[in-house]
Chains A and B, each alone.
Chain A
């Protein structure tokens, strides 16, 4: 999937956009529910992780729920059963996602394009069935009433604003990491592989290794989002490992703009807001999401931020 190349000298607009985003996140709790904002941030980070693969590596993963869900289970289990402090629980969840990323990545990068999508989907479905049957995940019930605990053993995260600050910090850290990766030499090579893999290989780059590292980073950041989300909602459940979740993150990224820096954040915010307002309409949510998918693919392939960036002539 080709996206406009981002020249690394054109960072000014992105810095301004970043400042605006940080300001909005700091002011948001005055206007909207903190839990809602925390949900948006978790999904935004999840979408940023996904976008690193598809937008900059050209790899469509249709199984990213495996990272979100497994990390959620891992951090919930660590916090509830082992009594880990929240920062360690989140760290543990992220490490689990990284490990799954290595294993799944080694398999998935053996095929390209459509096969890559099908393989990631199948691997995620396998993890879904494991989560359904394993003892420690609680099956259909999931892991409920996970304690948020005290950050570093000191700050009580049951306080909404304390939790909000932690989630904001995690989100911004993950976001900046992805942003840095995209603009790093590593990110440039990744884009070169996306555009023309044989050429990148002929220039001496080990394409498979770059793809694997990108996959593992993406899985780890998605895991960071999932581990944090489990603490926010004090719940790890099958919803987060199901294929519908993998589809949702594709939708968020597509709607916001594939291969843009801020698109996944905007896409996640729109989709979560929509789900919030349409929640009582049941299956219509699925229909609306399907319609957005179709419209985006047929007529709106740049997405919200892609169109905005195109209009401003600045890559966002």
Chain B
């Protein structure tokens, strides 16, 4: 079968890859949006923290013999803890200054982390074994679906929706949203806002590390794996607008799909299609698809 001269197998294959990329865009832009909401900082270290998640998984497997499932649980905690330290020791000193200083600080931290890992492990990628439970594939009628790819899409959807639910529908989330609007008032009601900020940053970082662990079996684990990705995620964030959690999720998956389609129909443009969409969105709706212009 063919659609517009493209074999359907290839089309579905690219759409699947698009959805997988979209899963990572969604997870990473979600983390950025959560951090930005409360801290007003764009976390440039996000890509490095995604890479750290993958490396923690790799090291746990090779040094401690702990497999994928332990890594999925522990790597976000470990990397999230480093995030808490970064927030307490450094970021918390910058809240009174222009928000751009937060961007510069996290950019510097990303350079340090990526440089240290490159010194230790070189620029080439390290392979990571796929968990045995998720190897293999299933014929779903129109195509073969490798289990691990299905797992990525489902898991990231679940994590994204759970995060959305916690922030938009629970009491804890309502504190968070209130602190975003007016931290002083929330503090006056007896809620420990600095602690909440610290934990929020830790959570956003943990999300990035979680995405890194999920990426480890399908991409190579390398010190630069998050560096270029994070720039695409920035474009995703600009397109979606930072205001809404759901916006980050929808935009992430949607742009992954569009990128996959571009790979089928016009492969030369697949690297830049997201940036082109960003340009168009800026022309039509500068605040982003889901954003509110302040």
Q: Could you count the A-B residue pairs with CB atoms below 8 Å apart for me: how many are there? A: 123
Q: Does A67 contact B (CB under 8 A)?
A: no
Range class of the B interface residue count: 35 or more
How distant is the Cα of A68 from the Cα of B273 in the complex, in angstroms?
23
Q: Is the CB of B238 within 8 A of A122?
A: yes
Q: Decide yes or no: A113 and B99 within 8 Å by CB, A283-B119, A290-B109 being known contacts.
A: yes
How distant is the Cα of A298 from the Cα of B93 in the complex, in angstroms?
7
Q: Which of B58-115 contact A (CB under 8 A)?
A: 90, 93-94, 97-101, 103-105, 107-115
Range class of the A interface residue count: 35 or more
Task: Choose, from A87-95, A124-132, A160-168, the stretch at the interface.
Answer: A124-132
How distant is the Cα of A207 from the Cα of B109 in the complex, in angstroms?
34
18 interchain pairs, CB-CB under 8 A: A1-B101, A107-B279, A111-B282, A114-B103, A115-B242, A117-B42, A119-B282, A121-B234, A123-B279, A125-B231, A125-B232, A125-B235, A129-B271, A133-B271, A284-B115, A286-B111, A289-B108, A294-B90
Q: Is the CB of B275 within 8 A of A284?
A: no
How distant is the Cα of A119 from the Cα of B287 in the complex, in angstroms?
12
Chain B's closest residue to A115 (CB) is: B238
How distant is the Cα of A111 from the Cα of B278 in the complex, in angstroms?
12
How distant is the Cα of A14 from the Cα of B271 in the complex, in angstroms?
46
Q: Does A153 contact B (CB under 8 A)?
A: no
How distant is the Cα of A302 from the Cα of B294 in the complex, in angstroms?
30
**CB-defined interface of A67-79 with B at 8 Å, one 1/0 digit per residue?**
0000000000000
Q: Does B133 contact A (CB under 8 A)?
A: no
Q: Which of B102-141 contact A (CB under 8 A)?
A: 103-105, 107-116, 118-119
Listed in ascending order, the chain A residues whose CB lies under 8 Å from chain B are 1-2, 60, 62, 107, 110-111, 113-115, 117-119, 121-123, 125-126, 129-130, 132-133, 243, 247, 250, 254, 282-287, 289-294, 296-298, 301
Q: Is the CB of A290 within 8 A of B111?
A: yes
- The prevalent SS among residues of A at the interface is helix
Listed in ascending order, the chain B residues whose CB lies under 8 Å from chain A are 36, 42, 90, 93-94, 97-101, 103-105, 107-116, 118-119, 228, 231-232, 234-235, 237-238, 242, 268, 271-272, 275-276, 278-279, 282-283, 286-287
Q: Is the CB of B283 within 8 A of A118?
A: no
